[in-house]
Amino acid sequence: MKTEKDVTIYDIANALGISASTVSRGLKGHPYVKNELKKQIFQKAREMGYQQNKFASNLRQKYTSTLGVIVPRLDSYFMSTVISGMENVANQAGYNLIISQSLESAKKEAAGIFTLFNTRVDGLLVSLSSGTEDLTHFDPFFKKGIPVIFFDRIFEHSQCVSVIINNYKAGYEATSHLISQGYKNIVHIGGSLLRNVYSDRYYGYRQAMEDNRLPVGENSHIITDLSFTGGVQAAATLLQQSPLPDAVFAANDSSAIAVMSEFRKAGIRIPQDVGIVGFNDDPVSRVIEPGLTTIHYPGKEMGEISASTLIKMIKGEQQDVLNTIVLSHSLIIRQSSVKTRSNI
């Protein structure tokens, strides 16, 4: 199938009987070109179907007005809110996002970074995969001085800014809340300890247990992929334990809800027999019965601050030397973890 040749500034120049350089200046709104001639140039460009190649123009100016984003998965409420925040800030500043997901694979993450580097993104926003053990695949960005920001799942690096919450403190608070309700045999369901978010939540849990002189045994920590299916499998493991744990602190809401569902199928009452706390404050945590106690994670704010900081770095407007930006979180207490006289 034959396609029409793209219209160029030379075509417009020939049609108007002027130079190509005058057409180029007119399309850019140059003050040396008279307003009447500018109108003629724009009118002729529209008539002929001219499309400005902004990408090529930006490359000549050594920027593309594009930010790369790499996330573990797109199918999570938390990550969708983060990306929403990034898009709001980026679009207002005249930037577009190119989004890639690693699917928790370090190999896929490296391939995505290679593609974004060759696409000449102006900066990179990254939440690391569960399998990433080093940052060597980021070297092309570091060597060229292209700014990189890690958010949520981070890796400390002298050239990078990290945007996080205090996951250690959040894990400590979630566990302390369960302890304050009288729960003692508390199990933690978490993710890969390679990632800061899960290791910090786990060590916060451990510290709260130790501070209250409660035991943390071999069966007190279950590592999963934190999917709903992983939560179902963790629940099956817990149901085999004797005695049954009297509380569960899960590193995300999906796992917490899966455990809650499986326990209720087994005739276990929530929170009378087992208290449950999740993490992220997904919408489903508010509508499930009983309502799920969880940690509110400010995803949209994290996306907005990550994107705005990156754009300032790209433009050379970031005056302060930053390594880590810590956002506020909060414990949202609902019925899944609250013991009262009426439900004991």
Contact 179, 162 (CB under 8 A): no
> Which residues are CB-contacts of 326 (< 8 A; sequence separation ≥ 6)?
164, 165, 166
> Which residues are CB-contacts of 78 (< 8 A; sequence separation ≥ 6)?
152, 252, 280, 282, 297, 299
- DSSP classification of residue 291: P
Radius of gyration of the chain (CA): 27
Closest C-alpha among 98, 82, 73, 89 to residue 165: 82
Contact 309, 327 (CB under 8 A): no
Residue environment code for 273-286, b if the CB has 16+ CB neighbours within 10 A, otherwise e: ebbbbbbbbbeebe
Q: Does domain 66-165+299-328 have CATH number 3.40.50.150?
A: no
Residues of the chain with CATH 1.10.260.40: 9-52
Separation between Cα atoms, residue 204 and residue 198, nearest integer Å: 10
Q: Does domain 9-52 have CATH number 1.10.260.40?
A: yes
Residues of the chain with CATH 3.40.50.2300: 66-165+299-328, 167-297+331-337
pTM: 0.81
Domain 167-297+331-337 fold is Rossmann fold (3.40.50)
Separation between Cα atoms, residue 220 and residue 311, nearest integer Å: 43
Closest C-alpha among 280, 252, 298 to residue 82: 298
Residue type, 299: G
Contact 293, 280 (CB under 8 A): no
> Which residues are CB-contacts of 186 (< 8 A; sequence separation ≥ 6)?
175, 178, 179, 205, 209, 214, 220, 245, 246, 247, 248, 249
Per-residue pLDDT of the chain (344 residues; tens, 9 = 90+): 344 567 888 889 999 999 988 988 888 778 888 889 988 988 888 788 786 665 566 655 567 889 999 999 998 899 999 999 999 999 999 999 999 999 999 999 999 999 999 888 999 999 999 999 999 999 989 988 899 999 999 998 888 899 999 999 999 999 999 999 999 999 999 999 999 999 999 999 999 999 999 999 889 999 999 999 999 999 999 999 999 999 999 999 999 999 999 999 999 999 999 999 999 999 999 999 999 999 999 999 999 999 999 999 998 887 666 789 999 999 999 999 998 755 55
Separation between Cα atoms, residue 241 and residue 237, nearest integer Å: 7
